[in-house]
């Protein structure tokens, strides 16, 4: 059946002006779909799709004459759904449907995007970026369908009232109910109403997995306008392919810049896409994908984003446009446009987006710099040692939590079977995500070790105090715990140790020479409001100690909190001298 559809599509394409290179043939491969294979060596093969076979908004005027230009992509999805599912008597759509019938019939009935996975398969993606975002993405597609259908004239909405009724409740609905009512019909029913949500979702995934940018053939179109290119969209993705997309008189031309050996797949290049984007939009993954990455969104307040953009030119707050790369881009002509985008706060409404990649060491740097900035205290800059070390701990902690949460899920017994290919995709995706996170954590450990080694003269540890301040160890600490000998004194953490040490130094005015810099800072920080933490520390640890002032406890705690960081690996607090 698939071979018959493929043969009909290729013959139709050739008869209608699609130019294919000599020495290629199309075959159907299980779990991969259609492939274009060479039968001989070919240098710089070209595929040309004539303008009259490009599915674009030019056909919308004939079927939806009152559509708005801003809705062209959404109406294109409705148009393709109508060609797929409608047995239409309308002359305009009938003419278009008949023209593209071999192409529409050859389109896959299901794209394996997680947007259509059943509840058991969906559980395979628990605690991953895709698993955490799939409901939101489905809601966005539903809203796009709902808004578009309101503008389609001449349809009987009573036939889709049950689907329309989910508009107010879809965010609260159980996923199984959403799947049963809105997704399952794509896989189980051939009798789908062309303007229903299942038809729109199918068409949406056809566009996410096959569409090309219209501006290749139409320089005056909106930047996000898309088109479908029959036959050319059969070429699969290979990030090693060097290709050129161009246009001549409205035709779309693909040119492979390599010499392709015989018995080799002729491929396209969709751009530097990681498995998260490939699985979400295209329904497949690539093993050992060198462009695979983990997306991290950092939520920041608008006022803080504005402050960083205006005052911190060395800090990067990337948007999705900073990561967008196409196989046909040969220039860097978007710099000024990106700057304008970066200053549009709407670009950050869902968070600041970072991608980390284990093959690119520098991918961690912008994230580490931001975490350092978020860790600064009064009087510091993010380039100072203390906020950098604290920022590193906070970033590492965030990554380690993602690793812990991304544990293997054993799906419970369910009426929904797991498709083998979808299980494979989830395993490749999750394995790679974990590898990237663990590689990044390892790199942060290496950076931390290097920074601490290079800055050991600026770091004060509990061990150093115990070695250098004999007066505190021999006499002063005992005065903080009257009636107890040294064996009975238990200090639970190095943080508490430093607080007690500074309290004692303040009480006795006994800083040794090498620690005088702390005394100088403390003199500036005398008048501070008493915090609840200081009150708690005083009442729990020092309430029975005579002559200890709450003010000194407050000063000591404030100093340690403001001038130290705590290592995740050992829970060791170190005081940092930024000067």
**Rounded to whole angstroms, how far apart are CA atoms 62 and 74?**
16
Chain position carrying tokens 């628990």 = 126
Question: Domains of the chain by range and CATH?
Answer: 2-51+229-271 (2.170.270.10), 57-210 (no CATH), 294-454 (no CATH), 459-576 (no CATH)
Cα 258 from Cα 242, distance rounded (Å): 7
Q: For residue 166, what are its two tokens?
A: 């989910």
Partners of residue 460 on adjacent β-strands: 575
> 155: helix, coil or strand?
coil
Q: Output the pTM of the full model.
A: 0.88
CA distance 522 to 515: 11
Backbone φ, ψ for residue 248 (5° rounding): -140, 115
Predicted pLDDT at 413:
62
Dihedral angle computed from the Cα positions of residues 545, 549, 554 and 560, in that order, rounded to the nearest 10 degrees:
-60
Write the burial class of residue 248 (CB in 10 Å: 0-12 exposed, 13-18 middle, 19+ buried).
exposed
Contact present, 251 and 280 (Cβ < 8 Å)? no
For residues 175 and 117, is the Cβ–Cβ distance under 8 A? Answer: no
For residues 516 and 420, what is the distance between their CA atoms, to the nearest angstrom?
Answer: 67
Map tokens 């001549």 to a residue.
248
In angstroms, the CA 200 to CA 141 distance is 9
* C-alpha span between 64 and 52 (Å, rounded): 19
pLDDT at 339: 41
Distance CA 28, CA 261 (A): 20
- pLDDT of res. 321: 64
At residue 29, the pLDDT reads 80
Q: Tokens 């968070």 appear where? A: 351
Residues 6 or more apart whose CB falls under 8 angstroms from that of 5 comprise 102, 105, 106
Residue 36 gets which letter from DSSP? E
Low-confidence ranges of the chain (pLDDT < 50): 325-342
Largest CA-CA distance found in the chain, in angstroms, rounded? 100
178: three-class secondary structure by DSSP? helix
Q: Which residues contact 51 (CB under 8 A, 6 or more apart)?
A: 217, 249, 250, 251, 252
Side-chain half-sphere exposure of 554, counting CA atoms within 13 A: 12
Distance CA 53, CA 49 (A): 7
Among residues 412, 383, 404, 355, the alpha carbon closest in space to that of 122 is found at 412
Q: Provide the 3-class DSSP secondary structure of residue 352.
A: strand
Q: Residue 184 CB: number of other CB atoms within 10 A? A: 16
* Rounded-to-integer distance, Cα 362 and Cα 321, Å: 18
- Integer Cα distance of 393 and 269 in angstroms: 38
Instruction: State the Cα angle at 152 between 151 and 157, rounded to 5°.
Output: 105
Inter-residue contact 78 to 152 (CB < 8 Å): yes
CA distances 484 to 208, 471, 481, 505, 554, Å, are 72, 17, 6, 20, 24
- d(CA 16, CA 239) in angstroms, rounded, equals 30
Query: How far is the C-alpha of 423 from the C-alpha of 421, rounded, in Å?
Result: 5
Would you list the DSSP string of 261-317? PTT-B--B---S--HHHHHHHHS---TT-TT--EEEEE---HHHHHHHHHH-TTS--
Q: Which residues contact 364 (CB under 8 A, 6 or more apart)?
A: 356, 440, 443, 444
**Tokens describing residue 161:** 């009232």
Residues 6 or more apart in contact with residue 70 via CB below 8 angstroms: 222
Helix (H, G, I), strand (E, B) or coil at 512: coil
- Torsion, Cα 152 153 157 160, to 10 degrees, reads -30
Q: 386, 576 in Cβ contact below 8 A?
A: yes
- At 327 the three-state DSSP class reads coil
Outline where DSSP puts E strands in 170-272: 212-213, 226-227, 243-248, 251-256, 259-260
**Phi, psi (degrees; rounded to nearest 5) at 269:** -135, 115
């Amino acid at each position: 059946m698939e071979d018959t559809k493929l043969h009909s599509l290729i013959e139709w394409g050739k008869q209608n002006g699609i130019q294919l290179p000599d020495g290629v043939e199309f075959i159907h491969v299980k779990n991969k779909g259609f492939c274009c294979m060479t039968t001989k060596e070919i240098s710089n093969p070209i595929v040309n799709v004539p303008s009259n076979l490009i599915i674009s908004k030019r056909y919308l005027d004939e079927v939806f004459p009152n559509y708005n230009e801003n809705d062209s992509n959404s109406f294109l999805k409705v148009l393709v759904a109508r060609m797929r599912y409608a047995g239409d008597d309308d002359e305009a759509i009938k003419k278009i449907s008949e023209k593209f019938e071999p192409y529409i019939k050859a389109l896959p009935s299901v794209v394996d995007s997680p947007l259509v996975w059943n509840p058991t398969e969906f559980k395979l993606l628990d605690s991953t970026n895709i698993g955490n975002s799939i409901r939101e993405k489905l809601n966005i597609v539903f809203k796009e369908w709902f808004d578009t259908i309101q503008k389609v004239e001449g349809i009987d909405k009573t036939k889709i009232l049950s689907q329309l009724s989910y508009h107010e409740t879809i965010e609260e609905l159980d996923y199984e109910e959403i799947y049963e009512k809105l997704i399952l019909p794509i896989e189980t029913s051939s009798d789908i109403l062309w303007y229903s949500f299942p038809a729109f979702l199918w068409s949406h995934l056809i566009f996410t997995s096959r569409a090309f940018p219209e501006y290749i053939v139409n320089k005056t179109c909106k930047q996000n306008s898309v088109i479908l290119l029959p036959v050319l969209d059969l070429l699969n993705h290979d990030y090693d392919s060097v290709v050129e997309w161009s246009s001549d008189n409205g035709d779309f031309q693909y040119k492979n810049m390599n010499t392709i050996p015989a018995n080799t797949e002729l491929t396209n290049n969709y751009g530097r896409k990681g498995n998260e984007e490939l699985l979400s939009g295209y329904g497949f993954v690539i093993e050992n994908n060198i462009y695979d990455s983990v997306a991290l969104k950092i939520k920041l307040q608008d006022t803080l984003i504005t402050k960083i953009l205006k005052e911190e030119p060395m800090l990067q707050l990337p948007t999705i446009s900073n990561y967008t790369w196409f196989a046909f881009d040969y220039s860097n002509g978007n710099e000024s446009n990106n700057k304008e985008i970066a200053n549009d706060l709407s670009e950050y409404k869902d968070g600041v987006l970072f991608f980390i990649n284990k093959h690119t060491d520098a991918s961690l740097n912008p994230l580490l710099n931001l975490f350092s900035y978020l860790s600064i205290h009064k009087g510091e800059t993010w380039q100072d040692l203390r906020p950098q070390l604290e920022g590193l701990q906070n970033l590492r902690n965030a990554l380690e939590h993602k690793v812990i949460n991304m544990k293997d899920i054993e799906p419970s017994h369910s009426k929904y079977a797991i498709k083998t290919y979808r299980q494979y995709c989830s395993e490749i995706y999750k394995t790679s995500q974990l590898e990237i996170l663990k590689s990044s954590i390892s790199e942060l450990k290496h950076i931390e070790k290097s920074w601490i080694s290079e800055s050991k003269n600026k770091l004060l540890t509990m061990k150093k105090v115990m070695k250098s301040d004999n007066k505190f160890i021999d006499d002063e600490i005992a005065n903080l715990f009257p009636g107890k000998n040294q064996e009975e004194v238990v200090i639970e953490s190095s943080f508490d140790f430093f607080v007690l040490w500074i309290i004692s130094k303040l009480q006795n005015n006994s800083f040794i020479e090498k620690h005088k810099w702390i005394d100088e800072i403390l003199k500036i920080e005398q008048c501070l409001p008493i915090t609840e933490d200081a009150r708690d520390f005083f009442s729990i640890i020092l309430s029975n100690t005579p002559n200890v002032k709450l003010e000194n406890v407050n000063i000591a705690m404030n100093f340690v909190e403001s001038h130290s960081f705590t290592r995740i690996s050992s829970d060791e607090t170190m005081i940092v001298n930024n000067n």
